[in-house]
Each structure stands twice: as C-alpha cells, then as structure tokens.
Amino acid sequence: MLSCLERFGKLGLPIAITEFDINMEDEQLQADYTRDFLTACFSHPSVSEIITWGFWGKRHWFPKAALWRADWSIKPNGQAWVDLTTKKWWTSAGGTTDAQGSFAVRGFHGEYEVRVTQAGKTATQRATLPRQGTPLTLHL
C-alpha cells in the first residue's frame, strides 16, 4: 500500500481515499486490515482524506463491510476506526502559558476548538491547523 501511495504521491497532488469498505466475513481480519490500511494512509504525506460512505449495516450496500451492525453494536473494524480517529490521532492538550503568555503544542492537522482561561475569563476560538503549522493568538 505504501509503495502505491508513493507512486501516486510523486504526482504532487493530494490523494483522497474514498469509499473505503472491507467486505468480508472474518471480522477480526477485517478489523486488522482496517487498522493497518488506515495507518498506512494516515502516515503518508500525500493523503488528504479518508472517507467511508457507509457505516451502519442497515444502510450499507455491503452490510458486512459496515462499521456498526444493524442493531447498532460496534464491530471490531468500527472499533479500530474509532480508536484511531478519536483516540490515537486526536489531539487534546492542556497546559500553562510561559511568562510571555505563550503555549506551544504539536498536533495533527485539522480543525480545533481552542479554549483559554485566565482569572475566570474564557476565550474560545475555532482554528484550522494546516500541515505546516500556524501561530494562533487569543486575547482575553
């Protein structure tokens, strides 16, 4: 998979992984493949997005490929998806600013809600963190 991504990545265009489905009976193998495939794609700098069109067994054209069964119980592949996207690849940071009022954190690129509190006052701002990083200034 990585060699395929490398080959297409040389074109200099973003790679979108779309309609990601693993349609098979063996749920553990499906979960392992989901985890490994997502990890390979997420690790490649040319991949800009990973999209699955269906996630619920009752509304999926391949019910076995769904991340949740028709009764809404999560399948092992769904758990792999959730664990990666909301735990392993989720940036959640907190801390205290330095004497100049600065705080730095390294995060995954994407959309953020940044909240700053000082002396009982809170400021919240939505921000986008691009690949190359960006400074963000909040004023209370």
Closest of 1, 86, 87 to residue 41, by C-alpha: 1
pLDDT in tens, 76-115: 999 999 999 999 998 888 888 889 888 888 888 888 898 8
Q: What is the pLDDT of residue 101?
A: 83
**pLDDT of 116 above 80:** yes
pLDDT in tens, 9-50: 999 999 999 989 999 999 999 999 999 999 999 999 999 999
**pLDDT of 140 above 80:** no
pLDDT band with cut points at 50, 70 and 90 for residue 67: very high
Outline where the chain has alpha helix (H).
2-9, 27-43, 76-83
> Would you say 107 and 93 are in contact if contact means Cβ atoms under 8 Å apart?
yes
- Give every CB contact of residue 47 below 8 A, 6+ residues apart in sequence: 5, 14, 15, 16, 17, 41
Q: What is the pLDDT of residue 33?
A: 97
Give the C-alpha separation, 64 to 91, whole Å: 31
- Structure tokens belonging to residue 120: 């009982």
**What b/e readout covers 33-43, taking b as 16+ CB neighbours within 10 angstroms?**
ebbebbeebee
Q: What is the pLDDT of residue 106?
A: 84
pLDDT band with cut points at 50, 70 and 90 for residue 75: very high
Mean per-residue pLDDT over the chain, rounded: 91
